[in-house]
Amino acid sequence: MIAVAAEGLCRRYGRRWALTDVSFEVPEGALVMVTGRNGSGKSTLLRVLATAIRADLGTARILGHDLREDREAVRENTALLGHRTHLYEPLTALENLALVARFLGRDGRRAALLERLAEVGLSDRADDPVQTFSAGMRQRLALARVLQQQARVVLLDEPYGHLDPPGFLLVDEVLRRLRAGGATVLMATHLLQRGRALCDRSLVLDGGRLVFAGATAEMPAPLGADGAGFAEGA
């Protein structure tokens, strides 16, 4: 089954086209790296697929649900980790997860939520307000929230951001766990070596256009990349 199908997606900010005629298909259960230089359209693509913003032209379907006509069905099956974590700052880590559990009808018992926090190394900070957390700790909590959603399609925008080396390993493990659970994952990242090691498929964007879609092993060396990642500010 095709989990994500995009056809001719276009998105404009003012006079600048952030996405231009982007078309691709992703099979269910795939782990996909979305890469490209800064400003190439990676974040915009993930936000369009998550229905956080609308495409100006084109269409896409998530698990057969049209982004325009079946927005609620798309949102029920999709989880997005964006640049902003959108956590409730005055609430504790546990209270943040409890809100998600209540909204989604998941297990909201303290023991279950503590297990989720333990998965991201935050069980000892369960009762601390998020406003006391570092950027890396907030990223870990946001990852816990993604796992709690149990979505069939997961969209991760620079999930390694703000994390230390142990946090990098945590993200690697989260990706493996999502894949083992049958989720389809699209991960935007500049970290090409990590993406190549973990992802079986890749999408490469350049100036809002899709310049490669296929097996990661067949992805050409991106222009200006040194093998580790795209240069910041490029």
User: Do 212 and 225 meet the contact criterion of CB atoms below 8 Å apart?
Assistant: no
User: Do 79 and 146 meet the contact criterion of CB atoms below 8 Å apart?
Assistant: yes
| Residue 213 CB contacts under 8 Å (≥ 6 apart), including other chains | 24, 201, 202, 203, 204
At 221 the pLDDT is 75
> pLDDT tens-digit profile of 138-150?
999 999 999 999 9
Assign residue 106 a region (left: φ > 0; alpha: ψ between -120 and 50; beta: otherwise). beta
Distance between CA atoms of residues 68 and 16, nearest Å: 22
Q: How many CA atoms lie within 13 A of 106 on its CB side?
A: 21
**Which DSSP state fits 70?**
-
> pLDDT tens-digit profile of 201-221?
999 999 999 999 999 999 987
At 222 the pLDDT is 57
Model confidence at 223: pLDDT above 80: no
Residue type, position 49, single letter: L
At 70 the pLDDT is 96
Better-scored residue on pLDDT, 85 or 44? 44
**What mean pLDDT comes out for the span 125-132?**
97
User: Do 196 and 32 meet the contact criterion of CB atoms below 8 Å apart?
Assistant: no
Rg, C-alpha atoms of the chain: 17
**What mean pLDDT comes out for the span 21-29?**
98
**What mean pLDDT comes out for the span 149-166?**
96
At 226 the pLDDT is 42
> pLDDT tens-digit profile of 57-78?
999 999 999 999 999 999 999 9
At 230 the pLDDT is 52
Token digits of residue 60: 């896409």
User: Do 36 and 206 meet the contact criterion of CB atoms below 8 Å apart?
Assistant: yes
Distance between CA atoms of residues 20 and 8, nearest Å: 7
At 14 the pLDDT is 94
